Chain A
Amino acid sequence: MITQTCALNDIIVLDLTDEKGVYTGKLLADMGATVIRIEPISGNKTRSIGPFYMDQISQESSLYDWYNNTSKKSITLDISTDRGMEILKDLCLKADIILESFDDDYLRDCGLTYEYIVEKNSKLIWTAITGFGRTGPYANYKTSDLVALSLGGPVASCGYDHLPGSPPICPDGWAGYYTGSHYAAISTLVALIYRDMTNKGQFIDVSIHEAISSSTEAALPMFFYQNNVPLRQTGRHHSIIPTPPAIYKCIDGGMIHVFGTPPQDLNRWGKLLEWIQETGEGSELLQPKYEEMVTKRNRDSGLMFTLFTHIGRLINSLDSEYVFNRAQSIGLPWGLVRAPEENVLDDHFWERGFFVNIEHESLDKSLFYPGAPYVFQKTPWRIRNSSPYLGQDNNEVYKEMLNLTNMDIELLKEKKII
């Protein structure tokens, strides 16, 4: 029975987020929650973000929108009108979670406050996802993925030490907004667990700036403990002291990222040395001082650079797939530097069922999607439907949740409220 195989089968979510939080609702929807996007009549602006299906720009063909809205429903509602706001309030009485990412005062100005909600539906969890949080001097500052990743710390750690004077680099791919959405999902689910026990809802103020600031590994500790700020380095960890390059080109043009090297035990160290020596080089690595890199965790810069010079030459002379598989076979956690689409060619992910085939009824065909970030034994992740057309679920949602009649719905459409 389907109802027992969804972790969030019992949960109704109203999703009013834009690109800052749109992924949060996908995380809940793909785990079984009924997530209803509430869009302005002109459509959520996520619908205008490219790339587009067959490069045909339209509200219904944004691949960004498709990816981030799987398993959701869509209704239209103009919440800036009095009647529209009334309807939103009625929906809030029937919902478990509301997700929104409006600027600070927008919903209040439209007439919806958490105080009102607590009185009418004290079980509701309201998650607000904003650039900087709802309080503080930056509360009304405007964010963007580029600005969020710059202020939050990642950008300062990414760039090129081999190109002096070059700017720091912001990684592509909406990583800032995704990190905000990860914390929004965690916070919302934590509030849900609390509600399971107490029947009480919650208002949650998620700051994307803080979410990103919490995701910069040792950068903060380096400052807290040693007053140090690490320098960015090409394709590898930021560091106080320069470290050897970590990414090496192979003979076929592929690249290998070397990490976890030297390994932590003599067994793997021996296998790495054997491999290097197959090229007829690297006899100097047999000196005891190199072994101390393993046994005493000695990270002397000179020794590291010499070791990596040998590793680099080894990799330069070989085919990338071979290097990847051989390194892994001797326990070295090296990886290929792949473009996203190159994982489609790796059988491993198909064997795990990572790529899933999703039907697009309107196109009369099914398309492959990237799939589950986690494999659950009893409540599997599942895309239940492709992202909804603008307002496609108006009839169903307004009838089932609010008992509106066909005539009510027609009237609302005429008045441009839905």
Chain B
Amino acid sequence: MIFNHNDIGEPLPLSGIRVVDLTWIVAGPQTTRIFADLGAEVIKVEYKESPDYIRGAPPFAENIPGENRSGFFNNLNRNKKSLTLNVMHPDGMDVLKNLISVSDVLIENFSSKVLDRWGLNYEEQKKIKPDIIYLSLSGFGHSGSKQDYTTWGPTAQALSGLTYMSGSPDEFPAGWGYSFLDHTAGYYGAIALLLALHHRNNTGEGQSIDISQVETGMVLTGTYLLDYFVNGRKYRRPGNPPGNRARFDIVAPHNIYRCLGEDKWIAIVVSNNEEWGKFCISLERLDLLNNDLFTTNELRITNQDLLDKEISKSLIDRNSLELMHMLQKEGISAGIVQNAKDRVTDDPQLKSREYFQTIEHPEIGTYEFDGFPAKFSDIGYRMERSSPILGQDSKYVISDLLGYPKKDIDLMESEEVF
């Protein structure tokens, strides 16, 4: 086995794995981003007339829209190749089938009936490539009475319970301010494909995998579902969700407090009496330490409204970052609420681990990217190529990879097959 290497010479662990990537929007591209970063050859297949929706989603480089100018798209689709294909044309379908025949994985996140309509369900794929691993990521999965229902990240969050679980007590749901579950469904996609690859390495067998985005949210509510099943306790009850306080009120202080400056906040968790002592001394609030209302965790929980009010008074005029460092030095879990700018420009931890890296894009220039969230001793990931220009690799795939003769390619080009 010969591995490709990244620019600092580390082997890329998924070298040699080829992925036919029929996904779009966010969830599926999240799965294939991980595969592409780690060395797989991900061939993103798009239809020129309606390419990946995210190509049209802001932010755009220099605020100028264009199918190769979306920063959101660039971020999600780095290290991938682009093949444009009209699969409704017989020659286009022929190309797709030939591509499947030399690939390891096929992944799609269409609604549940699309591949059936194309005549390309798993049974058909197997005829082309007997050990293919087929992953489908849909809203409700490929079985059950709601299999034709569709979701986007926010509506899958709403259905799974995650939206409801975010908010101040008895207030309207605050929900998630973005499609968290598109990432999460994408992570389950990556985990599933890696498990299937290991099984294939052991047995030579491929298989199909069916992921429902709503279910990937439901598994994150597992403890609460169990609480309902065994104790009959509903999450929907007065006082829930807990806002920024500890669930089940197990510890106090546990909250997010306002600090000096516009929209500056700090999260603080004080887990025991020892930390409470250090916390009060650090803040020069011996009055709190000596106050009979706060001497034990139980009392701090009971008197939490007053406690939070007193703590807020001490924090409102302080610099949040300095406060975080001061409390962390005392062994107290404290962290500022960082927005994207804070993370990119002011986070010494992310900087020291070289989490942000740059890649040059042929049309829009050089931009920053978030890296892979783990470091390996002997392997690495790449930040090699920006997201592909639409159709950039069509000829590579059809000619170099699949070996179509030039006259066929010319004919396909004239008929806009790719």
Binding site for B on A (CB under 8 A): 4, 7-8, 10, 27, 31, 49-51, 53-55, 63-64, 66-68, 114, 132-138, 141-144, 146-160, 162-163, 166-175, 178-179, 182-187, 189-194, 196-198, 200, 202-207, 209-211, 213-230, 232-238, 246-247, 255, 257, 259-260, 264, 297, 328, 331, 333-344, 346-349, 351-352, 354, 367-379
A148 to B335, CA, bound (A): 7
Please give, as numbers and ranges, the residues of chain B lying within 8 Å of A51 by CB-CB distance: 223, 227, 231, 233, 248
**Contact at B141–A344, with CB atoms within 8 Å?**
no
Please give, as numbers and ranges, the residues of chain B lying within 8 Å of A371 by CB-CB distance: 219
Query: Size band of the B side of the interface?
Result: 35 or more
**With A226-B59, A236-B154 already in contact, 13 other A-B pairs whose C-beta atoms are closer than 8 Å:** A51-B227, A155-B267, A172-B165, A196-B198, A205-B376, A220-B344, A297-B56, A341-B225, A352-B143, A352-B144, A354-B215, A367-B229, A376-B209
**Contact at B209–A172, with CB atoms within 8 Å?**
no
One of B85-93, B293-301, B345-353, B395-403 contacting the partner: B345-353
Please give, as numbers and ranges, the residues of chain A lying within 8 Å of B180 by CB-CB distance: 154, 171, 175, 215, 217
Which among B171, B257, B335 is the interface contact of A143 at CB below 8 angstroms?
A: B335
Please give, as numbers and ranges, the residues of chain B lying within 8 Å of A379 by CB-CB distance: 195-196, 199, 207
Give a binary string over B284-308; 1 marks a CB under 8 Å from any A CB, 0 the rest: 0000000000000000000000000
**Contact at A193–B201, with CB atoms within 8 Å?**
yes
Please give, as numbers and ranges, the residues of chain B lying within 8 Å of A264 by CB-CB distance: 53
**Contact at B256–A158, with CB atoms within 8 Å?**
no
A153 to B144, CA, bound (A): 36
Q: Does B242 contact A (CB under 8 A)?
A: yes
Which among A31, A156, A173, A339 is the interface contact of B339 at CB below 8 angstroms?
A: A156
Q: Does B19 contact A (CB under 8 A)?
A: no
Which among A136, A257, A373 is the interface contact of B349 at CB below 8 angstroms?
A: A136
Chain B residue nearest to A203 in the complex (CB): B377
Which among B147, B174, B210, B227 is the interface contact of A63 at CB below 8 angstroms?
A: B227
One of B41-49, B95-103, B155-163, B410-418 contacting the partner: B155-163
**Contact at B14–A190, with CB atoms within 8 Å?**
yes
Please give, as numbers and ranges, the residues of chain A lying within 8 Å of B231 by CB-CB distance: 51, 53-55, 63
Would A259 and B155 be within 8 Å (CB), given that A342-B161, A369-B226 are in contact?
yes
**Contact at A219–B374, with CB atoms within 8 Å?**
no
A166 to B161, CA, bound (A): 23
**Contact at A183–B187, with CB atoms within 8 Å?**
yes
Please give, as numbers and ranges, the residues of chain A lying within 8 Å of B242 by CB-CB distance: 172
Distance (whole angstroms) from the CB of B131 to the closest CB of chain A: 11
**Contact at B222–A370, with CB atoms within 8 Å?**
yes
Distance (whole angstroms) from the CB of A347 to the closest CB of chain B: 6
Please give, as numbers and ranges, the residues of chain A lying within 8 Å of B219 by CB-CB distance: 370-373
Question: 29 pairs across A/B with beta carbons < 8 Å?
Answer: A27-B191, A51-B233, A63-B223, A63-B231, A68-B223, A114-B377, A135-B353, A146-B267, A151-B347, A153-B343, A155-B267, A157-B177, A158-B166, A160-B168, A168-B256, A171-B165, A171-B176, A175-B180, A190-B14, A202-B378, A210-B370, A339-B234, A341-B236, A343-B225, A348-B140, A349-B218, A367-B229, A374-B188, A377-B209
Counting chain A CB atoms within 10 Å of each CB, the highest count among B210, B340, B355 belongs to: B340
Which among B13, B233, B333 is the interface contact of A191 at CB below 8 angstroms?
A: B13
Please give, as numbers and ranges, the residues of chain B lying within 8 Å of A232 by CB-CB distance: 177
Please give, as numbers and ranges, the residues of chain A lying within 8 Å of B209 by CB-CB distance: 374-377
Q: Does B368 contact A (CB under 8 A)?
A: yes
Please give, as numbers and ranges, the residues of chain B lying within 8 Å of A170 by CB-CB distance: 166, 244, 256, 267
Please give, as numbers and ranges, the residues of chain A lying within 8 Å of B144 by CB-CB distance: 347-349, 351-352
Chain A residue nearest to B57 in the complex (CB): A218
Would A146 and B256 be within 8 Å (CB), given that A7-B195, A219-B178, A236-B154 are in contact?
yes
Distance (whole angstroms) from the CB of B88 to the closest CB of chain A: 16
Chain A residue nearest to B141 in the complex (CB): A352
A203 to B359, CA, bound (A): 27
Would A175 and B75 be within 8 Å (CB), given that A226-B59, A335-B158 are in contact?
no
Give the A-B contact count at a CB cut-off of 8 A: 508
**Contact at B191–A185, with CB atoms within 8 Å?**
yes
Please give, as numbers and ranges, the residues of chain A lying within 8 Å of B162 by CB-CB distance: 171, 173, 175
Would A206 and B226 be within 8 Å (CB), given that A337-B173, A349-B215, A374-B192 are in contact?
no
Please give, as numbers and ranges, the residues of chain A lying within 8 Å of B150 by CB-CB distance: 260, 328, 331, 333
Distance (whole angstroms) from the CB of B257 to the closest CB of chain A: 8
Distance (whole angstroms) from the CB of A130 to the closest CB of chain B: 11
Would A335 and B159 be within 8 Å (CB), given that A135-B353, A210-B353, A352-B212 are in contact?
yes
Please give, as numbers and ranges, the residues of chain B lying within 8 Å of A190 by CB-CB distance: 13-14, 38, 194, 376, 379
A27 to B187, CA, bound (A): 12
**Contact at A221–B194, with CB atoms within 8 Å?**
no
Which among A27, A209, A328 is the interface contact of B149 at CB below 8 angstroms?
A: A328
Would A66 and B13 be within 8 Å (CB), given that A157-B177, A374-B209 are in contact?
no
**Contact at A167–B265, with CB atoms within 8 Å?**
yes
Distance (whole angstroms) from the CB of A289 to the closest CB of chain B: 19
**Contact at B353–A136, with CB atoms within 8 Å?**
yes
Q: Does B277 contact A (CB under 8 A)?
A: no
**Contact at A257–B154, with CB atoms within 8 Å?**
yes
Chain B residue nearest to A185 in the complex (CB): B191
Q: Does B182 contact A (CB under 8 A)?
A: yes
**Contact at A372–B215, with CB atoms within 8 Å?**
yes
Would A259 and B244 be within 8 Å (CB), given that A159-B174, A247-B173 are in contact?
no
Please give, as numbers and ranges, the residues of chain A lying within 8 Å of B201 by CB-CB distance: 193, 196-197
Q: Does B309 contact A (CB under 8 A)?
A: no
**Contact at A147–B154, with CB atoms within 8 Å?**
no
Chain B residue nearest to A379 in the complex (CB): B199
Distance (whole angstroms) from the CB of A155 to the closest CB of chain B: 5
Distance (whole angstroms) from the CB of A170 to the closest CB of chain B: 5
Distance (whole angstroms) from the CB of A227 to the closest CB of chain B: 8
A200 to B151, CA, bound (A): 41
A7 to B197, CA, bound (A): 9
Please give, as numbers and ranges, the residues of chain A lying within 8 Å of B353 by CB-CB distance: 133, 135-136, 207, 210
Please give, as numbers and ranges, the residues of chain A lying within 8 Å of B159 by CB-CB distance: 335-336, 338, 343
Q: Does B388 contact A (CB under 8 A)?
A: no
Q: Does B205 contact A (CB under 8 A)?
A: yes
Which among B122, B151, B348, B374 is the interface contact of A136 at CB below 8 angstroms?
A: B348
Distance (whole angstroms) from the CB of A238 to the closest CB of chain B: 4
Which among B56, B146, B199, B352 is the interface contact of A137 at CB below 8 angstroms?
A: B352
Q: Does B254 contact A (CB under 8 A)?
A: yes
Per the 8 Å Cβ criterion, residues 332-368 of B in contact with A are 332-344, 347-350, 352-353, 355, 367-368
